[in-house]
Structure 1
Amino acid sequence: MILPSASLAGGLLAAAAAVAYVLAAIVVARGGARGLGPMVPAWGLHAAALAWGLLGSQPHFGFAPALSMTAWLVLTSYAVEHQLFPQMRTRWALCALGAVAVLLAALFPGRAMHVAASPWLALHLTLGIACYGLFAVAVVHAWLMGRAEQQMRRAADLSSTLPLLTLERLTFRFVAAGFALLSATLAVGWFFSEELYGRAWLWDHKAVFSVLAWLTFAILLVGRARMGWRGRRAARVLYAGALLLLLAYAGSRFVMEVVLGRGGWGG
């Protein structure tokens, strides 16, 4: 059931997007299409649902819309990469991710955002969501890298997958870009905390998890540059940093909105 804070139109868009994702996954699983055609309607409806929630008459935001936007960014990145690397074949899994994410955002639309909120808040949220998206894409690539390694050990046919070194290079490019945006997000939060939340920087659980994630990704990048970290070791550090980052915003907002039934924009 869609919660009362979500509009009927937004709920219908989310439901339509989820159905479109399921249909696309079925078409892909049956081998009915090789390109991105089946995913395009779902991708467009997903974008419309996100836009309605953020730009409608009563904008809402919270942990679920953040995850939904992250999933949409992952799908967008995949669409671009698929044009460059047609071997990437994770469409059915991404369709499932998109369907779950868009429905979750409809069920938990978050809290209403203040119209008079500081413009720094929009920048802070934009940087944070873009950061989430880049690290999510990095995690997907690390998963593909692990799957390719397993196929190599089983002497499976790898002609339909990206070369391992290409996957590794792409993974760390996304990690580096995500790290830059995470650094910018933390900087905006540090220097403009009073404009954002009406108080100075506070070392709450969100800040602690965010800084721990930043340190984890910094260690990963230094380990890669100085000690040549790769493969499983690098993937484990990436997964740990991504989990910390997930707990930093989405996890804390989930507790505030769902467990405690709160969720104002005070932090």
Structure 2
Amino acid sequence: MILASASPTSLTLSVLAASAYAWPALRARILSAQTARAWVAVAWLLHGAALAWSLFGESPHFGFAPALSVTAWLVAAVYGVESQVFPQLETRWALAAVGSAAVLLACIFPGASLVATASVWLPVHLAFGVACYGLFGTAVVHAWFMTRAEARIRQAADPHSGLPLLTLERLTYRLVGAGFILLTVTLAVGYWFGDVVYGPTHAWRWDHKTVFSLLSWITFAVLLVGRAQFGWRGKRAVGVLYAGSVLLFLAYVGSRFVMEIILGRVA
């Protein structure tokens, strides 16, 4: 559970990735946009290599910190693709700082070894399930951008700085829709094939993770129906998005944090 359990390869990749993320975060006001993007791209590749080693290496581990690390990696990936399509998006020092912190946290708290009785597809299933964390995490970042854009409009600031509000809104809820699909598939696989993926003693259980996951699914479903049928926008829609994201965060990351750190259990 602590740094001492990290392999030399994992430790090296994590330190390199964290350093590459930290440099543009610390030098945001000095580096050019092109140089900052290059540093983040290198950090993202190193970050991905560290994640791949933790999931598929000699001793696969997973827990609350690796889940956060995967989320940060996916947010950076989506944001990087969007910055190519929408050059108005700047390289955000805050996202680089979060990436650096997430990599180091996963190195310090690598989580529990994946159970020997589980299917060889368990690492893939975990990565697939946490992918919805990345999509919803990116949606939350976009929602924050939307809130700032609305504030600029109310303050009569430059309306041409950054992405237009309607474009941000469209991107945000496309991400929510994609994340909802992934969450639905992940819950369905856990329900129908849990004993195959996790092993005969780790099938579907009505624990905190399951309850919070279902509550988040219901919240996101209400959000999507509300937008489609009742035209929800602005603070109401963003508030529901934040609520669903908090529930999803508590479902795995929150429950695993309590077990691994507070209770000291890794099973």
Category of TM-score, reference length = shorter chain = over 0.9
Which contiguous aligned blocks of 4+ residues in structure 1 show a shift greater than 3 angstroms?
A: none
Q: Name the structure 2 match of 1:128.
A: 129
**2:74 alignment partner AA:** L
- Aligned counterparts, 1:24-63, within 5 A: 24-34=24-34, 36-63=37-64
Aligned counterparts of 1:33 and 1:83: Cα–Cα separation in 2 = 12
Equivalent pair of 1:68/1:98 in contact (CA under 8 Å): yes
Equivalent pair of 1:29/1:92 in contact (CA under 8 Å): no
What's the CA shift for 1:156? 1.1
**1:215 alignment partner AA:** I
Aligned counterparts of 2:75 and 2:230: Cα–Cα separation in 1 = 29
What's the CA shift for 1:18? 1.3
Equivalent pair of 1:28/1:34 in contact (CA under 8 Å): no
Q: Name the structure 1 match of 2:216.
A: 213
Q: Name the structure 2 match of 1:158.
A: 159
What's the CA shift for 1:127? 2.5
Give SS of 2:28's match.
Answer: helix
Identify if the C-alpha distance between structure 1 residues 123 and 33 changes in structure 2 by more than 3 Å, giving closer, same or farther. Answer: closer
- Aligned counterparts, 1:2-13, within 5 A: 3-13=3-13
Q: Name the structure 2 match of 1:194.
A: 195
Give SS of 1:118's match.
Answer: coil
Aligned counterparts of 2:97 and 2:136: Cα–Cα separation in 1 = 19
What do the CA deviations read for 1:23-82 (whole angstroms, capped 9, x no partner)? 122333324334621212211221121122112211111110011011000001111000
What do the CA deviations read for 1:157-190 (whole angstroms, capped 9, x no partner)? 1323100000000011000000001000100111
Aligned counterparts of 2:5 and 2:117: Cα–Cα separation in 1 = 19
1:229 counterpart (223, 232, 235): 232
Equivalent pair of 1:120/1:192 in contact (CA under 8 Å): no
Structure 2 residue ranges without an equivalent (≥5): none
What's the CA shift for 1:113? 1.4
Aligned counterparts of 2:31 and 2:145: Cα–Cα separation in 1 = 20
Identify if the C-alpha distance between structure 1 residues 205 and 189 changes in structure 2 by more than 3 Å, giving closer, same or farther. Answer: same
What's the CA shift for 1:115? 4.7
Give SS of 2:229's match.
Answer: helix
Identify if the C-alpha distance between structure 1 residues 17 and 254 changes in structure 2 by more than 3 Å, giving closer, same or farther. Answer: same
Q: Structure 1-normalised TM-score?
A: 0.93
What's the CA shift for 1:116? 4.8
Equivalent pair of 2:117/2:199 in contact (CA under 8 Å): no
Q: Number of paired residues?
A: 264
What's the CA shift for 1:123? 4.5
Equivalent pair of 1:71/1:98 in contact (CA under 8 Å): yes
- Aligned counterparts, 1:69-218, within 5 A: 69-119=70-120, 121-195=122-196, 196-199=198-201, 200-218=203-221
Equivalent pair of 2:54/2:60 in contact (CA under 8 Å): yes
1:251 counterpart (245, 251, 254): 254
Higher mean displacement: 107-116 or 69-78: 107-116
Aligned counterparts of 2:33 and 2:91: Cα–Cα separation in 1 = 13
Aligned counterparts of 2:20 and 2:246: Cα–Cα separation in 1 = 29
Aligned counterparts of 1:16 and 1:94: Cα–Cα separation in 2 = 17
Identify if the C-alpha distance between structure 1 residues 213 and 197 changes in structure 2 by more than 3 Å, giving closer, same or farther. Answer: farther
What's the CA shift for 1:131? 0.9
What's the CA shift for 1:119? 4.1
Aligned counterparts of 2:101 and 2:224: Cα–Cα separation in 1 = 31
Give SS of 2:13's match.
Answer: helix
**1:205 alignment partner AA:** H
What's the CA shift for 1:8? 2.4
